Amino acid sequence: MSEQYEKGLKKLKEVTGGSGEAVVASFREIAPDLSRYIIEFPFGEIYSRPGLDIQKRQLVTVSSLVTQGDTAQALDVHINAALNVGLTPNEIIEAIIHLLPYAGWPKVQNGVNIAAKVFKDRNVAPVWENEK
Amino acid sequence: MSEQYEKGLKKLKEVTGGSGEAVVASFREIAPDLSRYIIEFPFGEIYSRPGLDIQKRQLVTVSSLVTQGDTAQALDVHINAALNVGLTPNEIIEAIIHLLPYAGWPKVQNGVNIAAKVFKDRNVAPVWENEK
Amino acid sequence: MSEQYEKGLKKLKEVTGGSGEAVVASFREIAPDLSRYIIEFPFGEIYSRPGLDIQKRQLVTVSSLVTQGDTAQALDVHINAALNVGLTPNEIIEAIIHLLPYAGWPKVQNGVNIAAKVFKDRNVAPVWENEK
Amino acid sequence: MSEQYEKGLKKLKEVTGGSGEAVVASFREIAPDLSRYIIEFPFGEIYSRPGLDIQKRQLVTVSSLVTQGDTAQALDVHINAALNVGLTPNEIIEAIIHLLPYAGWPKVQNGVNIAAKVFKDRNVAPVWENEK
Amino acid sequence: MSEQYEKGLKKLKEVTGGSGEAVVASFREIAPDLSRYIIEFPFGEIYSRPGLDIQKRQLVTVSSLVTQGDTAQALDVHINAALNVGLTPNEIIEAIIHLLPYAGWPKVQNGVNIAAKVFKDRNVAPVWENEK
Amino acid sequence: MSEQYEKGLKKLKEVTGGSGEAVVASFREIAPDLSRYIIEFPFGEIYSRPGLDIQKRQLVTVSSLVTQGDTAQALDVHINAALNVGLTPNEIIEAIIHLLPYAGWPKVQNGVNIAAKVFKDRNVAPVWENEK
């Protein structure tokens, strides 16, 4: 395997853990080059770049996915990744709610629903003070 | 509760009935402030504004949701709301079909599919003269 | 010309006046069938449909254009059309502002900017009571 | 039926086969004019145009649907259509992968997932040389 | 003015400085409530929330705006804001480039072009080691 | 330079000629890695793939750009590229018009406007039989 592939595989596991690896594997039969491109570019190149810390990177990804819509598979991977890189459930919900004025209420509601599923699978939850 | 929240809760029930309240309740555990923001801004502020009648407001919402895509949960609430504010099933279908040249055939087809589900749940249907 | 084309041309003038005709004319050299399709389908078919009054139709169009973004040429035509079919400047601004929770602040701001240009060209303006 | 309708029905069957006919039929009760518009415009007008061969036309459609997102029903029809007009499974996957830099990885991944389902139903598969 | 408005005005100045205030002022004549809503909700509510630090919030905003497209006015304000809250030109460019696999090359290129204009106006620039 | 970069530079020139090279150069100061990524991935990887002929590839790109909207800089490059790879002005207009039912009238109108500018710069034009 090329150096970029090796670097990407390492970064994929580090950031996305099992959920990202499963998605990559799911394409190996129908489109093996898609599996390779997922590893080589987003992870081998982009996520491996210095210059922006991993938590900030992860929030940039989550924000784009919530904003786009129809990204349920990718958002599942990337909300898991957000937890993996040390963002708390509260911070993740805050980031999605932050999008209310930018992406609108329906997309934010979709994003929070997906976060809820991931949190349930990971047995974590945000902790809120009593809000009035 | 604040005055804006009370106003919003009243407007939420008036416009969306049970379907809107259910969506708001679904977020109370994971993101209580999202529940609050749904009530306070779209309903406490926007839907409570004078200056545009409720049926026109509701069509602006439905049009935006169909155009955006990936808004099935919100469209379910808002097609119900369209019926609640006195738009007929025919008018609702007309409004979605009106989007063919603007949002394209696939989004309109998705929108009509969601309307069909809502109408079935509400036991209503559009009435068409024989079209050739 | 076909019957549908004649019907569409009549409806185009009625709804969009000069601004729509100018857009149609602008395509006659590079893509004459595009000019024909603008007349035949959105206007000859869709806008000519009974079942939804013209002001509601026009708001469905404006909502979709604001939501999509990058629709400055079409929005110019259609905000002019909104005035032509009897919607007031206030109602038009209300409809765009209504989109804040659905399309988000940036798209609404773009839409209001385009409305401002059209109103200036048409020498009309919304009239607001003192807002705090 | 009008001449355009007859032409469209013939083209719908030729290009989309059973999957397109099923979608058209699904709207006949709730929105009969939508069924008619699907037949008359995309197929009676657009797909019937000379000037661009059918395989190129089909790839333009698939590209737009993958790019838009939330087009699963239409993409199912149109990936079937891509096979019907003689594009190979490999060419279809290549076209979707081609969108990685334009529509982004999540939308391409969604598109490949839908292609996988269609290929499975059609008992076809792309054939890849060993890729490293 | 309401408490939320005061809080929002303070936050607007703190985060966006002059560019945000200019945008708010530009709507006062045509849509005074839009000016008020910009201050009250995105800034009075969302940006004033604890739970996510200001630099992370700002990157969530920038990511959404680049992803959406057609947000030049808002991106100008928010890239200025990114500088105001202490993100470096390098971090801002890194965040936009991070979107290559998510929003695609054209949107990222648009975003970098807008950043270039803002940096020029602010007399700042990213500093790159020699890249091969 | 890496092998992928060399391959990409060659393909960039071959497909996009001067317009693509100018865009790449425009980013060298503000984001040199963006220039590199444009060369390495879309051109070094994707456009260099066998399995789909260059004219089909180019139409997939144009379709995605027209569908997305707000892609004027990229569409300028890629309509030029469409001519460079042997598509005729007629075929290019046909491909954009083909998007009427998928991307909607406003986006197609924007796309045709951009094509018109490119054709004027290149001193070419589509040739239409008399259309009624």
Q: Do C33 and F106 touch (CB under 8 A)?
A: no
**What pLDDT is attached to residue E1?**
74
Q: What is the pLDDT of residues E110-128, one digit of tens each?
A: 999 999 999 999 999 999 9
**What pLDDT is attached to residue A130?**
67
Residue C131, pLDDT > 70, answer no
B→E interface, C-beta within 8 Å:
33, 37, 41, 45, 49
Secondary structure, 3-state, chain F = CCHHHHHHHHHHHHHHHHHHHHHHHHCCCCCHHHHHHHHHHHHHHHCCCCCCCHHHHHHHHHHHHHHHCCCHHHHHHHHHHHHHCCCCHHHHHHHHHCCHHHHCHHHHHHHHHHHHHHHHHHCCCCCCCCCC
d(CA F51, CA A32): 14
SS3 C47: coil
**What pLDDT is attached to residue D132?**
40
* Confidence band of E80 (pLDDT split at 50, 70, 90): very high
d(CA A130, CA F43): 54
Mean pLDDT of C3-7: 94
Mean pLDDT of A11-21: 95
Residue A131, pLDDT > 60, answer no
Q: Do F34 and E112 touch (CB under 8 A)?
A: yes
Residue D1, pLDDT > 80, answer no
Mean pLDDT of E29-44: 98
Q: Identify the residue among B2, B26, B34 best suited for mutation to test binding to A, counting A beta carbons within 10 A and taking the highest.
A: B34
Domains of chain F: 1-49 (no CATH), 52-132 (1.20.1290.10)
**What pLDDT is attached to residue E129?**
85
Mean pLDDT of E81-98: 98
pTM for the model = 0.98
Q: Name the minimum distance, in Å, from the CA of E119 to any CA of chain F.
A: 9
Q: Which residue is it, tokens 């739970």?
A: E51
D: neighbours with 3+ CB pairs under 8 Å?
A: A, B, C, E, F
Closest-CA residue of chain F to D55: F56
Mean pLDDT of D53-67: 98
* Confidence band of D39 (pLDDT split at 50, 70, 90): very high
Closest-CA residue of chain F to E94: F31
d(CA B132, CA D107): 38
F→D interface, C-beta within 8 Å:
41-42, 46, 49, 51-52, 55-57, 59-68, 90-91, 94-95, 97-103
Q: What is the pLDDT of residues F94-122, one digit of tens each?
A: 999 999 999 999 999 999 999 999 999 99
Q: Identify the residue among A5, A33, A36, A48 best suited for mutation to test binding to F, counting F beta carbons within 10 A and taking the highest.
A: A33
Which one-letter DSSP state was computed for residue D70? Answer: -
Q: What string of pLDDT tens digits covers the 132 residues of chain B?
A: 788 999 999 999 999 998 999 999 999 999 999 999 999 999 999 999 999 999 999 999 999 999 999 999 999 999 999 999 999 999 999 999 999 999 999 999 999 999 999 999 999 999 998 644
Q: Do E59 and A59 touch (CB under 8 A)?
A: yes
ipTM: 0.96
CA distances from D12 to A34, D37, D45 (A): 32, 12, 11
Q: Identify the residue among F35, F43, F71, F77 best suited for mutation to test binding to E, counting E beta carbons within 10 A and taking the highest.
A: F71
Q: What is the pLDDT of residues A18-70, one digit of tens each?
A: 899 999 999 999 999 999 999 999 999 999 999 999 999 999 999 999 999 99
Find the CB nearest E33 among C97, C110, C125.
C97
For residue C85, which of C61, C113, C120 has the smallest C-alpha distance? C61
* Residue E69 structure tokens: 């497209």
For residue C109, which of A18, E114, E25, E127 has the smallest C-alpha distance? E25
